[in-house]
Structure 1
Amino acid sequence: MLAKMTTKNQLTLPKSVTTAVGAGDYFDIQVRNGQIVLTPVRIQRADAIRAKLAEFGLDERDIDDAVAWARSAKGMPSE
């Protein structure tokens, strides 16, 4: 089976392939011995949030500080 890569580095996987592996919306991608290996994964909402927080360089302490600030009188909107 062949799949053509577009100018935007996109591939369309044949339906027979995605049907065979029960593919979802996301794939883990690895390069092994010059080959691209795609493994379907199911992303949980919490995983997506953790990934976004990591992208912004935020950790658990930053979140705790933000929640504490939001719960304080300074963080509450005035009535």
Structure 2
Amino acid sequence: MLAKLTAKNQLTLPRAVTNAVGSAEYFEVEVKDGRIILTPVRIQRSDAVRAKLAELGLQEQDIADAVSWARKPRK
């Protein structure tokens, strides 16, 4: 099967390929021995939240402190 790379650097996968791997919105991409390897990834919302928290350097205690602060009664 062939897939064409567009001028915008986009690639459309043939339907037979996507049907074979099931529904996936995201793919892990790696290059190995001159080949492009796409692996379907099913991202859970909780995984996305954890990844963002890690990216921001926030720890569990930071979140607990923020929740406690937000729940304080206002004067």
Same topology, TM > 0.5: yes
Residue deviations 1:10-42 (CA, integer Å, cap 9, x gap): 111110100111131111222211211111121
* Partner residue, 2:50: 50
Percent identity over paired residues: 65
* Partner residue, 2:35: 35
Q: TM-score, normalised by structure 1?
A: 0.74
Please state how far the C-alpha of 1:8 moved relative to its aligned partner.
2.8
Matched letter for residue 46 of structure 2: A
The runs of 5 or more residues in structure 2 that have no matched partner are none
* Partner residue, 2:62: 62
The runs of 5 or more residues in structure 1 that have no matched partner are none
Let me know the Cα RMSD of the aligned residues: 1.9
Q: TM-score, normalised by structure 2?
A: 0.77
